[in-house]
Amino acid sequence: MAGEGRKATGGASTGSAGAPAPAGSARPRRARDSLNRSVIIDAAIRVAERDGLSGLTFQALGTELGAHATSIYRHFRDKDELLLEVIDTLRDRSYGEALVSTGDWREDVLLVAAQIRQHYLRYAPFAHDMSARSTHRRTEFLTVEFTLNALEQAGLPPEEAALHLRLLGNYIRAMASFEATVACMDPELRVKDRVQMQVDSQGLDPVEFPHLSQHASALLPLEDPRVFDLGLEAILDSIAARADGGPR
């Protein structure tokens, strides 16, 4: 995390130092009533996709809208409220329509997992921030309903279904967000990271760190896409076993 690039400091206008703007108003006044939540959210998404979540400031958003930065406060209580709307809107666009049951509970879980994972990878720079937020909005409810249905189809009693709903939800978001975090490190830095890791582990005491010092290069580099499915299948197997042999 921490720092996705070093700003860009505007291009031409908005000179607050330098020449103090000819005389008249700098930019034309934004048309009355042309601002609303939906317009602002769209602009915010454009900014975020271009500059990353850390580039999404009121300043940048104002520039994108051709409006004063503070005009957003008329439509959102604070930045966090705007952020939650952005997160849920992105989710909805990514997989709001895709959650249609296949009729097979296991396929259904794999489907929702794949959708969420793909979404995080697509918006890799915000994945970590997104993964920790509960929006309490439509797309979130859709996902819960869909997963709950799958778990009931599997034959899990209500209380166990609730536990596994949580397990799957956390697992999918967390693992996908980790995958995204490495995916969005710029490749140069990722290679440097890898080399550094090997150098570091080379310097370790081979008695204290036999595994690490022996085959560090073979073991450490990877963030392998198979890891995600490995754990998911393990959880699915566990669910299947419980549904069969459980108190029925």
Residues found near a copy of itself in the complex (CB under 8 A) = 1-3, 80, 83, 128-129, 132-134, 136, 141, 144-145, 148-149, 152, 158-159, 161-167, 170-171, 173-175, 177-178, 181, 193, 196-197, 200-201, 204, 208-212, 215, 218-220, 222-224, 226-227, 230-231, 233-235, 237-238
Q: Residue 47 binds which one of DNA, a copy of itself, none, with CB within 5 to 8 A depending on kind?
A: none
Task: Between 11 and 203, name the residue whose CB sits nearer to DNA.
Answer: 11
* Tokens matching residue 170: 């956390």
Q: Does 57 bind DNA (CB under 7 A)?
A: yes
Q: Which residue among 41, 43, 47, 67 contacts DNA (CB under 7 A)?
A: 67
The 8 Å CB, 24+ separation contacts for 179-183 are: 179/117, 179/120, 179/121, 179/223, 179/225, 179/227, 179/228, 180/120, 180/121, 180/123, 180/124, 180/127, 180/128, 181/1, 181/124, 181/127, 181/128, 182/223, 183/121, 183/124, 183/223
Ramachandran angles phi, psi of 27, nearest 5°: -115, 150
Name the minimum Å distance from CB 72 to DNA: 8
Name the minimum Å distance from CB 49 to a copy of itself: 21
Chain-centroid distance, C-alpha 94? 12
Cβ atoms of 132 and 200 within 8 Å: the answer is no
* Tokens matching residue 231: 């754990």
Task: Between 67 and 105, name the residue whose CB sits nearer to a copy of itself.
Answer: 105
Say how many residues touch DNA, by CB under 7 A.
30
Q: List contacts with DNA (CB under 7 A).
A: 7, 9-10, 17, 25-27, 29-35, 56-60, 67-71, 73-75, 78-80
